[in-house]
A and B are shown apart, each in its own frame.
Chain A
Amino acid sequence: MTTSSSLSRRSVLAGAATSGSLLMAGSGAEAQPAKPAELKIGITTFLSGPASVFGVPAKQAAEMLTDQINAAGGIGGVPIRPIFVDEGPGTEHLVGEFRRLVQSEGVHVVFASISSGSCLACTPLSDELRKTTVLWDCGTQRIFEEGNHPFAFRTQGYGTPEVLAPLLYLLKHKPDFRSIAVINQDYAWGRDSWELWKAGMDAMKPGVRVVAELFPRFNSTDFSTEITRLLALRPDVILSTSWGGELVTLVRQASERRLMERSLMVLPVAEASMPSLGRNMPAGHIIGSRGDHWINHPRPRDKASLDRFTAAYQARFNQPSIYPCHHMAQALSALQAAYNKAIAAKGGGWPNDQELAAAFRGLTFDTPTATITIREDGQGLEDQIVGLSSFSSAYPYAVPEKMMLYPAAGISAPVGQKSVDWLKTLRAGMENTAGSAI
């Protein structure tokens, strides 16, 4: 009897024995910390499922940058170590993993999430566990508009500017359009981005006829029925905020059936799919990149640094560095800047969690293309560049031309206002003032 019960106990503990550190309780975070042997960063990203088209490149970027930072002496003299967690299995698993990262691995900071659902679940945990959390890629406007999160910071733009910039570009590029159709993925981003777009469009150009609102199932692989319907409807403009494999499929099927000759397409998340599409992407459509980090940015803040990053990534992984790689780089750049600021404020001492969070608020940090400032509500201000798809001999895939740069402050909802309410206050003419050609 005793053996059998001890065996069951052993089987329960079998996993625990393989990794002793997992059983250790989290350290007291509130005490004055000594300089750690390494700076641990918990990173949640998609390593499985369709969104791993973003998650895996971002992970690779994190590994590459970690090596570079450590080779240069780490952060404040401390080497950094990323610990990756898969977002793929769902929120229920992820919130458990978030706890494990903080309470068992003892990470110093968490980089949370590509998916909006993951971010919405992780941000309140950052409040409860008092752990600085960098929202490194998710775009939902709900995070900072529906609550205060003292330990959460977003080091890139978010849904509102990412949708508004292409809308402004459209208003300037094709001011006479009269009808529009939307074909978005049926999940939060697809729905939210259309709501944001429609609020802004109805305010700045009332009377546009919406001829079809299509929300095909998330992860669809066949859009032929939707395309037939769009071909029959002949809208002037088709908006799609789809991304990844779905956008690739949509564009291939649409261009093959000459839909893109009938209607102008607006694709705010196009950048990451351009390398996959190659020459299949027709020229002359409006493309965005969730930021300003186009590989052919005509005047980046630090051209050498941008070229170094894209070349090193291409050389090591044999892929172009798509926007999630830049968002990861921004998060790491912000972390370096925040630690340097906090260490300086403490006269060289190592900051605790509160001091680190305090350093993030109002922080300004460099990216290869610009500088980003984190507002008092935690939202980062990242500029947006939108242009028309075009081809040159420099790249085997479409990059933008006739680019417009939209500074973030002018196209983000002010602190304390909800995006949809703010978008409704916009007026015609903004398309001429908000951005400038570069």
Chain B
Amino acid sequence: MYGWFEENGLLLGLALLDGLAYAALVFMVAVGLNLVFGVLRVLNVAHGSLYAIGAYTAASLGLFLSARGLPEWASLAVLVVAAALVGGILGPLIERLLLRRIYAQEPVLQLLVTFALFMILEDAQKLIWGTQPVQNDAAMRLLGNFDVPFAGDFIPFTAYQLFVLPGVAVATLVGLAWFLRRTLTGRVIVAVTTDREAATAMGIDASRIYLLTFTFGAVLAALGGALSSPTASLVPGVGAQTIVLSFAVVATAGLGQIEGAALTALMIGLSRSIAVYFMPEAEVLTPYLIMVAVLLIRPQGLFGAAETRRV
């Protein structure tokens, strides 16, 4: 009925739809990490833990509230509230109590402190949520399915994946771009990202900017986790996988670049789903191959500016 070419063209279309949803989740986590790295110059391994804790909190908060009569339609709002709670509480705590003490240290020590925090939080999650899978898909079921026509047939997609995930990601991207370019605080953040020494020399209160950016990054990580919770069940170890992938995005994107993070997430999301259709064996390799390829051509990442070398 359909030739090879048409059929694979149609399959490619389906792969694009799948890739978008995945790219949206990757973007949400990676953009927070990238923002924090751009400003604080700390590569935060515990970002993965914040993602996991955000996801767990969203799922259990949703279950807790719906057992007490929370209407169905509110389940989407619960995701956002949980992320704000986790990021808003843990973010400032980590920045004030821990990171603040090590800004003067070498980058490798800063990174290892967050690695240590990651190890502690991994066990803490097990203590709080146990090891059995936690799940709450109320938000996904709320919106139902959307049928996409395909070769005389139809393929049901969840509206949550097709619209909510990409929608939130695009809104985050646009909102962030507006915030960073149009507001005073945003411009200060950009200034610190581009040239920390010059910015502080001009009298910018770096301490406040650090706290703000880290908290914001933590909220984004938790939101990424919260958004993933309706479609995934949560088990110990989700943070470790998320963080390696986010690292790849940050290095590929260029430091502190939000558009770079968006483009990289899109490339990773699309190539991953195309791989599932046409070359399943290569699926796990795609993010790393993309990163190596990009850095071969652009050593500072997609959007990174070449840094002036110190003399």
CB–CB under 8 A between A and B in the complex? yes
Which residues of A line the B interface, CB within 8 A? 48-50, 52-53, 55-57, 186, 213-217, 219, 221-222, 224-226, 228-229, 231-232, 234, 244-245, 248-249, 252-253, 256-258, 273, 276, 280, 319
Contacts of B17 in A (CB 8 A): 228
A215-B280, A229-B277, A319-B132 known; A50+B237 contact, CB < 8 A: yes
Question: Is B107 in contact with chain A by the CB < 8 A criterion?
Answer: no
Question: Is B150 in contact with chain A by the CB < 8 A criterion?
Answer: yes
Interface size class of B (residues with CB under 8 A): 35 or more
**Closest CB pairs A-B (n = 5):** A245-B235, A221-B232, A52-B131, A245-B133, A225-B18
Q: How far is the CA of A203 from the CA of B11 in the complex (A)?
A: 33
Question: Is B273 in contact with chain A by the CB < 8 A criterion?
Answer: yes
Contacts of A226 in B (CB 8 A): 276
Question: Is B15 in contact with chain A by the CB < 8 A criterion?
Answer: yes
A222 touches B241 (CB 8 A): no
A232 touches B284 (CB 8 A): no
B137 touches A280 (CB 8 A): yes
Contacts of A55 in B (CB 8 A): 131
How would residues 32 to 49 of chain B score, 1 for a CB under 8 Å from any chain A CB and 0 otherwise? 000000000000000000
A52 touches B155 (CB 8 A): no
Given A216-B276, A224-B157, A276-B132, 15 new contacts (CB under 8 A) = A48-B123, A48-B237, A214-B276, A219-B237, A219-B238, A221-B238, A224-B18, A225-B272, A228-B15, A228-B18, A229-B277, A232-B151, A252-B135, A276-B133, A280-B137
How would residues 104 to 129 of chain B score, 1 for a CB under 8 Å from any chain A CB and 0 otherwise? 00000000000000000011001000
Query: Which of A48, A215, A224, A248 contacts B233 (CB under 8 A)?
Result: A248
Q: Which residues of B151-198 have CB atoms within 8 Å of chain A's CB atoms?
A: 151, 153, 155-158, 161
Chain A binding surface, main DSSP class? helix
Which residue of chain A has its CB nearest to the CB of B15? A225
Which residues of B line the A interface, CB within 8 A? 11, 14-15, 17-19, 21-22, 25, 122-123, 126, 130-133, 135, 137, 140-141, 145, 150-151, 153, 155-158, 161, 228, 231-238, 241, 272-273, 276-277, 280, 283-284
Contacts of B135 in A (CB 8 A): 248-249, 252, 276
Summed over the interface, the residue pairs from A and B with CB atoms below 8 Å come to a total of: 118
Contacts of B276 in A (CB 8 A): 214, 216, 225-226, 229
Q: How far is the CA of A231 from the CA of B157 in the complex (A)?
A: 10
B133 touches A232 (CB 8 A): no
A214 touches B157 (CB 8 A): no
B232 touches A53 (CB 8 A): no
B233 touches A252 (CB 8 A): yes
Q: How far is the CA of A226 from the CA of B283 in the complex (A)?
A: 11
Contacts of B157 in A (CB 8 A): 224, 228, 257
**Shortest CB distance B224–A (Å):** 12
Contacts of A228 in B (CB 8 A): 14-15, 17-18, 155, 157
